[in-house]
């Protein structure tokens, strides 16, 4: 009986444990609420980032599938802008094409004969199918211009017209003098006929004498009118020759202008075809820098269109920038000046620390794709990490960016959830 009562007392929980446990839980709850109310933390938006400079490396890709015919530099060599790094497979001769390009820019005004034309622009150039047709058109147009200037058909015809005009001018002058003389004869004949008419009225002369004088007057009048018609006809013919001379001159000018315009147009088309050929088959350096290879190791290697063949890394590093892609979620809270922590893959942040940056600008619209993102540009002042280590810069360092948004307490975040629930119930 005694043992039974004792067991029941042991099974019964002490009152002080319940009281102390309740107080402890209450105190802990108060501390958690205080911590949630007074200790804020940053919201973070993460995104992939690439750190580079204002003068990023230039990637040179293949424009078509084929083989590499030539590699002119070694990895690590310093190249300048415009250097030909390599050449892709094509059916033209690079030296002939570049020679033709130089000649097109310098020699057009110095060619006045077919012999010089053949020496300067040889028909034996190996240009390939992409350029040859334009070269043939250019050569034929240049040949037509030279022949037009050397044969001078229009000049010969113009000289003939000038000679005819000169003869016509002399004929008109002679006819004009004859007309003046005949006009004087007509005046004398009219005066003579008037005197004979007066004498006939007085009965001094006979009817026959008057009629003879009248016939002479009519004959002179007819000759005068004929001469006048011939004079007018000569003037008309002279006007025709003058118009013909103008037409000939204009035709000559128009023909020469047309030939020159055709030549210039064919020259421009030929230069454009050469530019297209260079862009398609020549791998040129767009900047000055140090050459780097990727998957290329020798000539006659097969490559595919879009494959990255060379990369030229600038010799001088300019200002550091970061390009970050962030998802749409919480992107409305992004603004210029916000702090950013950068964790680079080349330098694990647990060992090296993080870089500090700031938001410089945000794209106005998201980048369209399967997962739309905003592009955020970052300002990076230096490469000293949060652990005080200086990192060595390599172009296009990749990693993760943590953009620190506004500080928010845990209580505020819980309040946001309740507010959302209450607003939905009211609706």
95-108 tens-digit pLDDT: 999 999 988 887 66
Dig out the tokens for 407 from the structure. Answer: 């500080």
50 and 95 inside one domain? no
**Is residue 198, in this structure, part of any structural domain at all?**
yes
Query: DSSP code of 392?
Result: P
**269 pLDDT band (50/70/90 cuts)?**
very high
256 and 369 inside one domain? no
132 and 236 inside one domain? yes
Dig out the tokens for 250 from the structure. Answer: 């204009």
**Is residue 28, in this structure, part of any structural domain at all?**
no
Domain that holds residue 248: 82-285
pLDDT of amino acid 274: 93
Instruction: Please give the Cα distance from 81 to 291 (Å, whole number).
Output: 12
**Is residue 39, in this structure, part of any structural domain at all?**
no
**Is residue 96, in this structure, part of any structural domain at all?**
yes
**How many C-beta atoms lie closer than 10 Å to residue 401's C-beta?**
28
**Is residue 4, in this structure, part of any structural domain at all?**
no
**273 pLDDT band (50/70/90 cuts)?**
very high
241 and 119 inside one domain? yes
227 and 337 inside one domain? no
Task: With H, G, I as helix, E, B as strand and everything else as coil, classify residue 135.
Answer: helix
Each residue of 325-346: pLDDT tens digit? 988 887 788 888 888 889 998 8
Domains contained in the chain, number: 2
Task: Collect all residues with Cβ–Cβ distance below 8 Å to 127 and sequence separation of at least 6.
Answer: 92, 93, 96, 97, 100, 135
Task: With H, G, I as helix, E, B as strand and everything else as coil, classify residue 6.
Answer: helix
**Is residue 295, in this structure, part of any structural domain at all?**
no
222 and 100 inside one domain? yes
Task: Collect all residues with Cβ–Cβ distance below 8 Å to 314 and sequence separation of at least 6.
Answer: 53, 55, 56, 57, 287, 288, 289, 395
Contact by Cβ (8 Å): 135, 263:
no
Of 323 and 105, the structure prediction assigns the larger pLDDT to 323
**65 pLDDT band (50/70/90 cuts)?**
confident
252 and 357 inside one domain? no
Contact by Cβ (8 Å): 146, 117:
yes
Phi and psi at residue 274, in whole multiples of 5°? Answer: -65, -40
Percent of the chain scored above 90 by pLDDT? 9
pLDDT of amino acid 191: 85
**Is residue 50, in this structure, part of any structural domain at all?**
yes
251 and 335 inside one domain? no
Q: What is the mean pLDDT of residues 161-182?
A: 74
Instruction: Please give the Cα distance from 110 to 121 (Å, whole number).
Output: 12
Task: With H, G, I as helix, E, B as strand and everything else as coil, classify residue 286.
Answer: coil
Query: DSSP code of 347?
Result: S
Residue at which a domain ends, from 270, 285, 300: 285
115 and 257 inside one domain? yes
Instruction: Please give the Cα distance from 202 to 145 (Å, whole number).
Output: 83
**Is residue 60, in this structure, part of any structural domain at all?**
no
Residue 57 sits at the vertex; the CA angle it makes with 52 and 60, to the nearest 5 degrees, is 145
Closest CA to 42 of 327, 341, 336: 341
Percent of the chain scored above 70 by pLDDT? 77
């Amino acid at each position: 009986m005694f043992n039974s009562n004792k067991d029941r007392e042991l099974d019964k929980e002490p009152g002080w444990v319940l009281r102390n446990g309740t107080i402890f839980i209450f105190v802990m709850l108060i501390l958690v609420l205080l911590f949630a109310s007074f200790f804020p933390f940053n919201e973070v938006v993460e995104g992939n980032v690439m750190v580079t400079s204002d003068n990023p490396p230039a990637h040179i890709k293949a424009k078509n599938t084929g083989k590499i015919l030539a590699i002119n530099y070694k990895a690590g060599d310093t190249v300048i802008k415009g250097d030909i790094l390599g050449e892709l497979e094509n059916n033209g001769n690079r030296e002939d094409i570049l020679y033709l390009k130089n000649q097109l820019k310098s020699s057009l005004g110095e060619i006045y004969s077919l012999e010089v034309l053949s020496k300067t622009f040889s028909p034996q150039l190996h240009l390939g199918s992409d350029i040859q047709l334009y070269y043939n058109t250019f050569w034929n147009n240049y040949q037509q211009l030279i022949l037009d200037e050397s044969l001078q058909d229009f000049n010969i015809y113009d000289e003939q017209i000038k000679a005819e005009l000169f003869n016509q001018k002399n004929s008109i002058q002679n006819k004009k003098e004859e007309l003046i003389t005949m006009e004087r004869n007509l005046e004398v004949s009219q005066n003579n006929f008037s005197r004979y008419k007066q004498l006939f009225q007085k009965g001094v002369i006979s009817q026959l004498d008057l009629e003879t004088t009248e016939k002479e007057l009519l004959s002179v009048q007819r000759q005068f009118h004929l001469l006048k018609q011939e004079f007018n006809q000569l003037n008309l013919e002279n006007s025709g020759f003058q118009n013909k001379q103008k037409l000939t001159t204009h035709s000559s000018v128009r023909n020469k202008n047309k030939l020159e315009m055709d030549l210039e147009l064919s020259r421009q088309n030929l230069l454009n075809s050469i530019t297209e050929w260079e862009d398609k088959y020549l791998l040129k350096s767009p900047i000055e820098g140090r050459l780097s290879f990727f998957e290329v190791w020798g000539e006659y290697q097969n490559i595919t269109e879009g494959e990255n063949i060379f990369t030229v890394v600038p010799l001088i590093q300019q200002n550091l920038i970061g390009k970050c892609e962030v998802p749409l979620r919480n992107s409305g809270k992004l603004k210029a000046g916000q702090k950013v922590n950068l964790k680079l893959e080349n330098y694990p942040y647990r060992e090296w620390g993080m870089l500090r940056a700031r938001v410089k600008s945000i794209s106005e619209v998201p980048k369209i794709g399967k997962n739309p993102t905003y592009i955020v540009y970052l300002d990076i002042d230096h490469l000293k990490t949060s652990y005080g280590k200086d990192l060595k810069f390599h172009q296009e360092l990749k990693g993760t960016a943590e953009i620190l948004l506004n500080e928010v307490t845990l209580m505020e975040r819980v309040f946001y959830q309740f507010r959302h629930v209450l607003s939905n119930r009211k609706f």
